[in-house]
Structure 1
């Protein structure tokens, strides 16, 4: 079997979706541990806890968006060299690492926000801003990848 540029490019697209999904699973799990503890004592806070737990899941969606954008470029190309595939992987790196890491830290921030809401339910509006700030960097990672993909020649 020969490794060609298309294969390498597809590995990059797959890693993009995979690493983003791993980050989201990690972050949602961390937040879920904290929100479950809150809900065991205050089930009336379910709506607020659901929002806080779901926030780290967005990074997985951003990774899938980047993967689909990359697949569109890969499928439109007649042939892809290894060098071109490496360009594509380079353009996908912001999403690969940005989503993985920001999802984890957003889960940590959501867990802290859950504790804040458990003690002061009226503070939900302020508490949700804490993990939302981490979202900024997830969005910037996606935007960086979109811009970089525009510079990749396949």
Structure 2
């Protein structure tokens, strides 16, 4: 039973984080294409801002690698629940932070398209949702210690 619970945790970890990144990057990518029509010389800024929400998917993947090696068919229910908890922490935090970071970056791209010099400001503001995705990964790393109990 612990093995099944752990596998669900791994799936949520990678799947939800990937969804957050996919949604965030597509929001910013769409805004970048709209901006490109008005201000093609700013495409580089839009491309960089489009990549920012992709990190949430990477955090889910890192979490997967950290926990995948600890899971065996003999894993008990408590250990499986630890993996499920880590999966929910990373998955949900990265899902929501990826979406909302995408909104921040998309608004920055729109402002750049209107002629405002806000690339740096947008990067600073995009760091706030990123911080919570990083915290979820750190929490999941710390939770690994519970696997040895």
TM-score by length of 2: 0.91
How many equivalent residue pairs? 149
Instruction: Write the distance in 2 (CA, Å) between the matches of 1:153 and 1:58.
Output: 29
Post-superposition Cα deviations, 1:45-91, rounded to whole Å, max 9, x if no partner, equal 111001111111100000000011110111xx461122321122113
1:11 aligns with 2:32: no
C-alpha contact (below 8 Å) 1:94/1:145 kept by paired residues:
yes
C-alpha contact (below 8 Å) 2:57/2:94 kept by paired residues:
yes
SS at match of 1:73: coil
What residue in structure 1 maps to residue 99 of structure 2? 104
Unaligned runs of 5+ in 1: none
Unaligned runs of 5+ in 2: none
TM-score by length of 1: 0.88
Runs (4 or more) in structure 1 with deviation over 6 Å come to: none
Deviates more, 1:55-64 or 1:34-43: 34-43
Note the C-alpha offset of 1:94: 1.5
Note the C-alpha offset of 1:152: 2.4
Of the candidates 40, 55, 60, which is equivalent to residue 57 of structure 2?
A: 60
Of the candidates 66, 69, 94, which is equivalent to residue 69 of structure 1?
A: 66
SS at match of 2:15: helix
Post-superposition Cα deviations, 1:79-136, rounded to whole Å, max 9, x if no partner, equal 1122321122113322011101100000011111112222235332222212122211
SS at match of 1:102: helix
